[in-house]
Copies of this chain bind each other. A is one copy, B any other.
Amino acid sequence: MDDYFAVIMAGGGGTRLWPLSRQDRPKQTLALFGDRSLFQMAVERVHPLIPMERLRIATIRAQVGLLREQVPALPADGFLIEPAPRGTASVVGLAAVTLAHEDAQAVMAVLTADHHIANETLLRSLLAAAYQPAKDGHLVTLGIEPTQASTGYGYLELGEQVGEVGGHPFHKVESFREKPDQQTAERYLAAGNYLWNSGMFVWRVDRILQEFDRHMPELAAGLARITEALGTSSAVQVVEQVWETLRSQTIDFGVMENADDVVVLPTKDLGWWDVGSWNRLYDVLPLDEQGNLVLAQELIALDTSGTLIVQEPGQSRLVATLGVNDLVIVDTGVVLLVTTRDRAEQVRALVDQLRQDPTKHRYL
């Protein structure tokens, strides 16, 4: 498996965790689960299956410094720079042509930096199992057996089993489904043959490039221009030029929904959590006896329940609460947010409003 590469997508901003997540400290760099950041965990959990030299970190230029600081062992040429966010299809395409330049039939795992995975051993076992079907030409995705009728994830419809590797069966995928409404999510859960789309994929680089040719010809044309420039002094400039022409599109909508030969490795017990919002954090992290989620150094809480209290590391202030319920309180060096758990999914509205005022961009 020495042609097995991993691409960790680490360029997101994570505005739904604002203001803890900000431009200069995006979500994947936050240590929400102990000492290590989501990014550090994302890098470390693929070892020793895929060694550091076959790891590629896809991100925007502004984040490279912080990411290298968090994982000093990462080589400078391990970064794939997106000139600007243009969706996962564009990132995957850039990664695919870059790896193809090294090895036209390399296998690449596409991994995320903003999910928590409790069982890292199981993840490596799944990634190891995915290698051979990918090498054989399948587009492999990891699907998570749902534990609740979540409307926050896309779903995969499970088809018949078509093989087994390393104790893991793999199945055809009948269809990809967008994030459903509540009623549909409940139907999926009851039906039992739907999986959460984890956003983790494994495929041969030439196979995914074929699919871009078929389903995203504009992106494929841009990638062809980049391929010509790779290894020359104009490579960076060409990527930037191509990027300006790209629409933002996800790999799920752009390719997976229409691709041939998609298979899924179903899994449970991976301890896989999207940590995309304050409410998700509240749902997955342990609460105190009053149902509060406390990520604060120093707190005094009287008659306080159902409340999420988050303090940015380095803040030394006391958070004091009295007689409040079901709030979200986020105390950072530059912004203090107070909202309710009901409304916390809408912090994006605050971010959007701040974006419209250049004098307030320092709070983003």
Q: Which of A19, A300, A302, A327 has the most CB of B within 10 A?
A: A300
State which of A157-165, A247-255, A344-352 sits at the interface with chain B: A344-352
A323 to chain B: which residues have CB within 8 Å?
Answer: 339-340, 342-343, 346
A336, B301: Cα distance in complex, Å: 11
Rounded to whole Å, the gap between the CB of A293 and the closest CB of chain B is: 15
Q: Is the CB of A317 within 8 A of B300?
A: no
A349 to chain B: which residues have CB within 8 Å?
Answer: 302, 322
For residue A118, CB closer than 8 A to chain B, the reply is no
For residue A318, CB closer than 8 A to chain B, the reply is yes
A320 to chain B: which residues have CB within 8 Å?
Answer: 19, 335-339, 350, 363
The number of times this chain is found in the oligomer is: 2
For residue A303, CB closer than 8 A to chain B, the reply is yes
For residue A217, CB closer than 8 A to chain B, the reply is no
For residue A360, CB closer than 8 A to chain B, the reply is yes
Q: Is the CB of A339 within 8 A of B318?
A: no
A343's closest neighbor in chain B, by CB? B323
Rounded to whole Å, the gap between the CB of A320 and the closest CB of chain B is: 5
Rounded to whole Å, the gap between the CB of A354 and the closest CB of chain B is: 7
- A318: contacting residue among B318, B322, B344, B360, CB under 8 A: B360
User: Which residues of A280-319 have CB atoms within 8 Å of chain B's CB atoms?
Assistant: 298, 300, 302-303, 316-319
Rounded to whole Å, the gap between the CB of A317 and the closest CB of chain B is: 5
A307, B15: Cα distance in complex, Å: 25
A338's closest neighbor in chain B, by CB? B321
Task: Identify the A interface with B (CB < 8 A).
Answer: 19, 298, 300, 302-303, 316-324, 327, 329, 331-340, 342-344, 346-347, 349-350, 353-354, 360, 363
A-B contact pairs, 7 of them (CB 8 A): A300-B360, A320-B337, A321-B339, A323-B342, A323-B346, A324-B339, A338-B338
